[in-house]
Amino acid sequence: MNRALGYLGQALCYTLFFLPLVYLSHEPTYRVLDDDTALLKLAVRHPGKIIGECTTTTESGQGMRPTSMAQVTEVCPRERSALQLQLILDGKTLYRDTVPASGLHSDGIASVYMQFEVPAGSHNLQLRMNDDEAIEGYPWQFEQDIELQPAQVMVANFKQGFRLQ
């Protein structure tokens, strides 16, 4: 009898512990987006073009260099162009920025991650990018009509061209 009472008390304690957990895991609904909203993300990691050209060293200039660089006949710059990015949805510019290259000498990859809540439905999406300071305009362009469902997440990224996922 004493043992059965212990098991009953233990079951009661487990029930009192798990009831709030079950309630809290099911009842308060959490919605990331409204019913008529979708999420558009822009994720770009891209190195810009190198600024400048390599120069050939002369023999007189090589004498002033450290011995570890004595065999180097060409010196190339490290600095990279900043990325000029533009995201246009239905003719309205949502994002426009110049993103500098990372790194101590501006020789790394430029990175952008942005997200925008947009109304669900049909849209015209335009993405533009310039990765070379020497060129005017946007050599990388992408335009597509898209259909966004409510609560859908669409990612626009860049890898040798823009693509949507």
Residue with tokens 């510019």: 93
Residues in the chain, how many? 165
Tens-place pLDDT, residues 97-109? 999 999 888 889 9
Give the tens place of pLDDT for each residue, 1-59.
788 888 999 999 999 999 988 888 888 777 777 889 999 999 999 998 888 888 887 66
Look at 65 and 29; give whichever has higher pLDDT.
29
Task: Say if pTM beats, i.e. exceeds, 0.95.
Answer: no
Question: Check: CATH 2.60.40 for 32-51+80-164?
Answer: yes
- 48-73: average pLDDT: 70
Give domain limits for the chain: 1-30, 32-51+80-164
What does the pLDDT read at residue 69? 60
Strand order in the sheet with 83-89: 92-99, 83-89, 121-130, 140-148
Write the burial class of residue 154 (CB in 10 Å: 0-12 exposed, 13-18 middle, 19+ buried): middle
pLDDT at 161: 84
106: closest CA among 131, 135, 81, 76? 81
The pLDDT value given to residue 38: 93
Token readout for 63 is: 């004498």
What is the tens place of the pLDDT at every residue in 110-161?
999 999 999 999 999 999 999 998 899 999 999 999 999 998 999 999 988 8
